[in-house]
Structure formats: C-alpha cells, structure tokens
Amino acid sequence: MFTAAAVAILVTMVMAIIRAVKGPTFYDRVVAVNMFGTKSLLLIAVLGFLIERPEFLDIALVYALINFVGVIAVMKFFRYSHLGLPHAGDDLGDL
Amino acid sequence: MNPVDIFIDIFLLLLMAAVAIAIVRSHLMFAVVMLSGIFSLLAAVLYVHLTAVDVAFTEAAVGAGVSTLLFLATLALTHVNVEEKHKPVRMVPLVIVVATGAMLIWGTLDMPHYGDPEAPANKHVAPRYIQDSPKETGLPNMVTSVLASYRGYDTLGEVVVIFTAGAGVLVILGRGRRRWRPGVKDEDGDNAEEERA
C-alpha cells in the first residue's frame, strides 16, 4: 500500500522534473518547483510509514511551511526584484 | 534494508544525476536556479530516508530556500539570463573527472556498511555516551548531552563562527538599506543628498 503510494509519488516527481527542465515560461518552472516541494514532503510522509517512523509526518509539515514561504519569496522577488516593501525604481545593490 | 528502501534510494539518486545533467546542459539561468532547488529537495528527501533529519532540514531551508533566492537576487543584479552556447565536450577533463569518481567509489568499498553496529565509529565512544551520559551530565537526552557537555567547547566555537558570519552579512547588506530622504542627515552627520551625488 505505502509502497504503491511511494512509487506513484516518485513517478509524479519525474513529471515535475520534466516540466522544470522543458517548461517554456518562468511560471511553468516555478510551479514545477512548488509541486516538486509538495511531492517531496508527501514522499517524506510516506517514507515515515514505510520505515516505521510515523513522526516523520511532523517533519513533512514543516517542509510544507518552508516550501510555502520559499515559493512566496520567489514570486515576490520575481514581481518586485525585492523582498521588502514593493518600491518603484531601480535600486541596484539593495537586497 | 528492505528492497523497497533500496529501490527508493537508487531512484532518488538517479533523479539527482538526471537533474545535475539537466543543470549542466541548460542554457537558461533561471531554469538552472529552479533545477538546483529541485536538486536540494531531492538531497533533503535522501537525508530524511537516511534518518539524518537535522541535515535534511538544513538542506531544505538553505539549499532549496535561501540559496535559490540568493541566486535569483544575483540574476536580478547582473541582468544576465542566458549563458553562452555549449562548447564541445573536452575529453581530458571528462576522463579526469570519471577517473577521480571511480577512485572515490573504489575507496568506499572497504568502509563499513550503513548502520553497522561493528563499525569503528559505533565502537569508539558511543557505548560510553549511551551508558554513562545520564549519570555524568544529568541530561535525559543523549544528543543534548553530547552537544552541550562532552563537545561543549566545539559547540561554543560553532556558535562563535555562526555569530561572526551573521554579523558580517549584516554589515555588508545593511549598507544598502539606508534610504535617501530630503532634508534628513544620515548618521555620519553630512548631508545624505551630497553623498548620493
């Protein structure tokens, strides 16, 4: 049961990688990475039950948080080239 | 290890190899950044599978999170998004890399197996930590007793290194934070407008 789930998740991971490699637009790649993060946390959760350490579920939850914040940061950076408040003008050297 | 675990390990390693080849062969820098994030996530899953959960956390937070952002920031600053055309494969470096890799793999052959209780690393001081650390340090958690007591100076050194690195990053990045506002003098006392011009 868990083995089948793990294999299915691995197959989905391959598809996400294919989209990240081929993806013609930026957004394809960002969504592919986001989806890959989701798949990796699902795989961690399933692996926890496969190797009989179900507390891996908590780790998968924290991965979900990291993934969420990471993708928001990437999109924000993409929109504003900046992580602080949105601002106008080219301010080189300011991170 | 049961066959499913071995299959998942090998599959993840193959995926990592495929992603690495895709990174090397990609023309678009943005794709390289995204693929390196995927590479870090794959490594994190592998570390979790090896039950090295803390290492996996660091890999996911630093490798997939912060370094992706730093790469994007670099791309935004340098305005370079397409790298040069491929050069033809040069044989001598390829042979050297393959030979070095083969030698490294050969070097691992006589190492003890993963999780082997007879391995020297598990024979050296680990039994003492397991048997005596609650008595000697009074801490119920074995990892904490090793980090905070047996290797206390080592941990102190690590904290000093991380603090110094953080202070250095703040000093470098903090310089760009100063905003120009009309009529406001900055900390040095001279007019910010003059300094900008």
3-state secondary structure of B25: helix
Domain that holds residue A25: 2-80
- Separation CA B24–CA B35 (nearest Å): 10
Same domain, B77 and B122: no
Using a CB–CB cutoff of 8 Å, tell me whether B184 touches chain A. Answer: no
Greatest mean pLDDT range, A23-37, B47-61, B94-108: B94-108
A95 is a domain residue: no
**Containing structural domain, residue B15:** 1-82
In a domain, B193, yes or no: no
Q: Which residue of A has its CA nearest to B30?
A: A26
Q: What average pLDDT score do residues A60-87 get?
A: 76
- Is residue B16 domain-shared with residue B70, that is, in the same domain? yes
Radius of gyration for chain B, computed over Cα atoms and rounded to the nearest angstrom? 24
Q: Do B176 and A50 touch (CB under 8 A)?
A: no
Residues B2 and B77 in one domain: yes
In a domain, A88, yes or no: no
Which residue's entry shows tokens 């990045």?
A: B173
Chain B residue closest in CA terms to A82: B73
Mean pLDDT rounded to a whole number for chain B? 82
For chain A, how many structural domains are there in total? 1
Q: Which of B9, B48, B70 to mutate to test the interface with A (most CBs of A within 10 A)?
A: B48
What tokens appear for A32 in the block? Answer: 């592919």
- Same-domain status, B134 and B66: no
Confidence of residue B14 (pLDDT cuts 50, 70, 90): very high
Residue A17 within a domain: yes
- Contact indicator for A93, B176 with CB cutoff of 8 Å: yes
One-letter amino acid identity for B181?
Answer: R
The model's confidence at residue B178, banded by pLDDT at 50, 70 and 90, is low
Mean pLDDT value across residues A5-32:
88
State whether B78 and B122 are in the same domain: no
Residue B56 lies in a domain: yes
Residues B33 and B71 sit within 8 Å (Cβ to Cβ):
yes
Q: Please, are residues B164 and B176 in contact by the beta-carbon 8 Å criterion?
A: no
Residue B91 belongs to a domain: no
Å from B87 to nearest chain A CA?
20
Name the domain count of chain B. Answer: 2
Residue B56: both structure tokens together = 């996996």
Residue B102: per-residue pLDDT: 95
Range B15-35 average pLDDT: 88
CB contact under 8 A, A83 and B68: no
B40 pLDDT above the threshold of 80 = yes
> Which segments of B63-189 are extended strands (E)?
none
Does the predicted interface ipTM exceed a cut of 0.90? Answer: no
Do residue B144 and residue B69 come from a single domain? Answer: no
Place of tokens 């070097």: B107
CB A95, CB B173: distance < 8 Å: yes
Q: What is the pLDDT of residue B96?
A: 96
Q: Are B75 and B1 contained in the same domain? A: yes
For residue B40, is it within any domain? yes
**Considering CB atoms only, which of B38, B60, B68 is closest to A17?**
B38
Global pTM value: 0.71
